[in-house]
């Protein structure tokens, strides 16, 4: 049995970007601090726990997924307590993650983890980390943190639509149109805070319409997303004030 099949290692390439980008963006926007180290460790351990738990629930609670779930639960608990002890103020953000977490686990238990709702709630939880990482540093303008988080949510939410239009919904013009609509509305939404960021989203909107006409493997799609992820985060960091 491989480590992945036992629930030890997440398989989704896009998940790594959704973990790293909001965390790094929030931390850099507020100013890097030592607290970001235990926060990052907890964030990744927490996701691994979520992934392992999802695999366990999806399998019908098979025993082979329990070792990974238990190990990550212990690791996440230790790192969570350590982070909270070092920065108790971060505990105020915990309730914000409960609904996305609950929806994600419910979807896994009902084998609906690839449904649109499950994907968007996962993106929401990821985007919220932008605000948490910002609050952990020396940043005081939570309005800016919220705008940065919105950009992350709109971008990664767009990738949910975009990737589905390339794979599971390939050839579905209605779904592709919804994907383009999400990106177009996102462009308008971010324009008020950053015209350069709106320009990036405008390019992503054109991509959402044109690229699904061609055939690419999931790996190729994932690799191509790296550049888009960096572009959105970097332009957000430099232009959103």
Taking the domains of the chain in order of start, what are their residue ranges?
Answer: 1-140, 141-241
Using the predicted structure, report yes or no on whether residue 220 has a pLDDT greater than 90.
no
- Write the secondary structure of the chain as one string of H (helix), E (strand) and C (coil): CCCCCCCCCCCCHHHHHHHHHHHHHHHHHHCCCCCHHHHHHHHHHHHHHHHHHHHHHHCCCCHHHHHHHHHHHHHHHHHHHHHHHHCHHHHHHHHHHHHHHHHHHHHHHCCCCCCHHHHHHHHHHHHHHHHHHHHHCCCCCHHHHHHHHHHHHHHHHHHHHHHHHHCCCCCCHHHHHHHHHHHHHHHHHHHCCCHHHHHHHHHHHHHHHHHHHCCCCHHHHHHHHHHHHHHHHHHHHHHCC
The band of 13, judged by pLDDT with boundaries at 50, 70 and 90, is low
Segment 39-58, tens digit of pLDDT: 999 999 999 999 999 999 99
Tell me the mean pLDDT in the region 156-163.
94
């Amino acid at each position: 049995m491989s480590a992945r099949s036992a629930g030890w290692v997440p398989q989704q390439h896009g998940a790594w970007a959704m973990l790293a980008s909001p965390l790094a963006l929030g931390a850099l926007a507020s100013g890097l601090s030592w607290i970001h180290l235990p926060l990052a460790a907890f964030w990744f351990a927490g996701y691994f726990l979520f992934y392992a738990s999802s695999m366990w629930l999806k399998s019908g609670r098979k025993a082979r997924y329990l070792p990974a779930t238990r190990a990550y639960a212990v690791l996440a608990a230790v790192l969570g307590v350590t982070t909270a002890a070092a920065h108790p103020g971060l505990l105020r953000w915990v309730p914000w993650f409960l609904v996305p977490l609950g929806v994600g686990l419910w979807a896994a238990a009902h084998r609906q983890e690839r449904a649109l709702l499950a994907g968007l709630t996962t993106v929401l939880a990821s985007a919220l980390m932008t605000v948490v990482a910002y609050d952990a540093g020396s940043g005081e303008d939570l309005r800016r943190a919220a705008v940065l988080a919105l950009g992350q949510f709109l971008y990664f939410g767009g990738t949910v639509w975009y990737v589905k239009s390339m794979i599971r919904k390939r050839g579905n013009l209605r779904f592709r149109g919804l994907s383009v609509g999400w990106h177009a509305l996102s462009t308008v939404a971010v324009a008020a805070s950053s015209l350069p960021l709106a320009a990036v989203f405008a390019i992503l909107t054109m991509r959402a319409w044109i690229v699904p006409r061609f055939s690419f493997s999931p790996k190729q799609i994932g690799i191509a997303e790296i550049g888009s992820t960096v572009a959105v985060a970097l332009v957000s960091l430099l232009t959103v004030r």
